[in-house]
Amino acid sequence: MLKKDKYATFIGHKFQGKHYLVVQKWTAPDAPSADGILASTALTAAVQTITTGITNPDFPRVLQIDSDGAASGDVVITGTNIRGEIVTNTIALNTTTAVAGVVAFATIASIQLPVKVASESVFVGWLDQFGLQSIPMSTTVISEDSNNAADTGGAILTRDADEVEKCLYDPTTEADASVDKVVVYISDELPKKVGGITE
């Protein structure tokens, strides 16, 4: 029997009810890189599908493409999301202007490059946007820490209703490979869909 003058304190992750807190941590994530995924690769007169020389990001992250010339056409990236599901992202080149994708990739299996315009090269890197392991109920950040200290005021959550690879965390302070990141948010995604690990 419970006494009315007693209470319990608890910290929870998943609950039987509709909503639950998600605490997600990234251990010293790398700084953004312009060519960390694929180093400068020359375009040719034919479409290329690159499957070697690709480096996966340290954590599921949004990718960015760029060129050293007048390159145009689509770059198609295929890989897996935080749950190991196959995902793709088609990103249109914009000459020498970097263009961000919208999908957080855990691994990259192939990168399809368009034909050359003249003699351009293309490179692929990762941004300071990380894939969430659960679909958030909203874009509200409950708490954000960097190396066990509150880091507030600028964190952004991006929400997609049914594609977890498009649910993203953009931290207040840019990652630099020396600081751990922790974010807390609320999800109402069905527990059977949740199973990603960030470290």
Task: Report the pLDDT value the prediction gives residue 147, as an integer from 0 to 100.
Answer: 87
pTM metric for this prediction? 0.86
Note the Cα 119 to chain centre separation in Å.
31
Scored b (16 or more CB within 10 A) or e, 162-195 reads eebbbbbbbbbeebeeebebbbebebebeeeebe
- Contact by Cβ (8 Å): 182, 144: yes
Task: Report the pLDDT value the prediction gives residue 150, as an integer from 0 to 100.
Answer: 87
Task: Report the pLDDT value the prediction gives residue 152, as an integer from 0 to 100.
Answer: 74
Render pLDDT for 2-48 as a digit per residue (tens, 0 to 9).
444 434 334 445 555 578 999 999 999 999 999 999 999 999 999 99
∠92-95-98 over CA atoms, to 5°? 70
Render pLDDT for 101-156 as a digit per residue (tens, 0 to 9).
999 999 999 999 999 999 999 999 999 999 999 999 999 999 999 987 888 778 99
77 closest CA partner among 38, 39, 42: 38
- What are the E-state strand segments in 31-152? 33-42, 48-50, 61-67, 74-80, 86-92, 99-105, 107-113, 121-131, 143-146, 149-150
143 bridge partner residues: 184
183 bridge partner residues: 24, 144
Count of beta carbons in the 10 Å neighbourhood of residue 80? 17
Render pLDDT for 49-73 as a digit per residue (tens, 0 to 9).
999 999 999 999 999 999 999 999 9
- Contact by Cβ (8 Å): 155, 169: yes
DSSP 31: P
Q: Domains for the chain: give ranges and CATH numbers.
A: 20-29+132-193 (no CATH), 33-130 (2.60.120)
Q: Is residue 1 over pLDDT 70?
A: no
